[in-house]
Amino acid sequence: MSFHRKALHTVALFGSFSTLFCCALPALFVALGAGAAFAGIVSTVPQLIWLSEHKIWLFGFAGTMLTLSAVSRYLTRNAPCPADPAKRKSCKRLRRISLGVFCFSLSLYMTGFYFAFLAGHLS
């Protein structure tokens, strides 16, 4: 796996984590009746407020990175692995791990998207 693909998957993962911190965790704390605990977290880490204030840009960036990651995965889906058995095994293992990281990132993004843009309108 090339450096650029690894970097793209890593940025997509951290982008989707940030959407979770922005929107899903605050809603979870409030739903569980732990609003005071969340207020304590926000006073300790005030950057969470900045993430919430800029959630449209945050979700746009994370969505773009996930889309680029998906395109990269699609374009290289049939790329050959090395002929050396050890390297081929490593290549296949890294592809499975990469798929797992992508799916995990996508699920984090969708969870954050639900809480940021849909959950408030449904109640």
pTM of the predicted model over 0.85: no
DSSP for 74-119 reads: HHTTTPPPPSSHHHHHHHHHHHHHHHHHHHHHHHHHHHHHIIIIIH
Residue 2 is predicted with a pLDDT of 64
Question: Which domain, by its residues, includes 28?
Answer: 3-122
What is the band of 5 on the pLDDT scale with cuts at 50, 70, 90? low
Tokens in use for 82? 């090395």
Q: What's the gap between Cα 16 and its chain centre?
A: 2
35-50: average pLDDT: 80
Three-state secondary structure of 34-77: CHHHHHHHHHHCCHHHHHHHCHHHHHHHHHHHHHHHHHHHHHCC
Q: pLDDT tens digits for 25-42?
A: 777 777 777 778 777 887
Q: Report the percentage of the chain scoring pLDDT > 90.
A: 5
Residue 53 is predicted with a pLDDT of 84
Q: What's the gap between Cα 3 and its chain centre?
A: 19
Domain count, the chain: 1
What is the band of 84 on the pLDDT scale with cuts at 50, 70, 90? very high
Residues 109, 62 contacting (CB under 8 angstroms): yes
Going 36 to 45 to 50 to 104, the CA torsion angle's sign is: negative
